[in-house]
Amino acid sequence: MAGVNKVILVGRLGADPEMRYTNSGTGVCNFNLATSENWTDKQGQKQERTEWHRIVVWAKLGELCNEYLKKGRQTYVEGRLQSRAWQDKEGNKRYTTEIVANTVQFLGSADRTASKAPEGESAPSETTFVEEPAEVQDEDIPF
């Protein structure tokens, strides 16, 4: 049986996205998304816990996120969980877990957050962008 690795989040950006490019020119956009949980404890006190999620968005979808998303903007993200390791400049092994997004939907009013869109244009509100899956070659299949 095949496994399932799917993440769905709705939250707000903690800072403006950061856009970088690989040596081959592929764009990669990173941003942090905050999700909050509210509940009332046994003593009747309202409680809140915020969880931060690292989001990675590749290629054209990443470029759209960089163009239209801004700190505080509410966003729907759908993707898969991925963990990776690397060595930092001091030689220490570092680990991270992030969500690699394949669907991003801009929620809420674009007017509530300042747009990065050129003058005369407005950032889309409630617009869904989906990354097309890459074409899989026979040599990419591991069996």
Residues shown for the chain? 143
Does 115 score more than 80 pLDDT? Answer: no
Q: Give me the half-sphere count of Cα atoms (radius 13 Å) on the Cβ side of residue 15.
A: 11
Q: Please enumerate in sequence order all residues whose Cβ is within 8 A of that of 41, keeping only pairs 6 or more positions apart, or say none.
A: 47
Mean of all residue pLDDT scores within the chain: 84
Report which of 99, 98, 101, 107 is spatially closest to residue 128, judged by C-alpha positions. Answer: 107
In angstroms, the first-to-last Cα distance of the chain is: 15
- Give the ranges where 40-118 is alpha helix by DSSP (H): 59-68
Does 125 score more than 80 pLDDT? Answer: no
Assessment of whether the complete model's pTM goes beyond 0.85: no
Pick among 3.40.50.300, 3.40.50.2300, 3.40.50.150, 2.40.50.140: CATH of 7-34+49-133: 2.40.50.140
- Residue 83 C-alpha from the chain's centroid: 15
Domains of the chain by residue range: 7-34+49-133
What percentage of residues in the chain have a pLDDT greater than 70?
A: 76
Q: Give me the half-sphere count of Cα atoms (radius 13 Å) on the Cβ side of residue 65.
A: 35
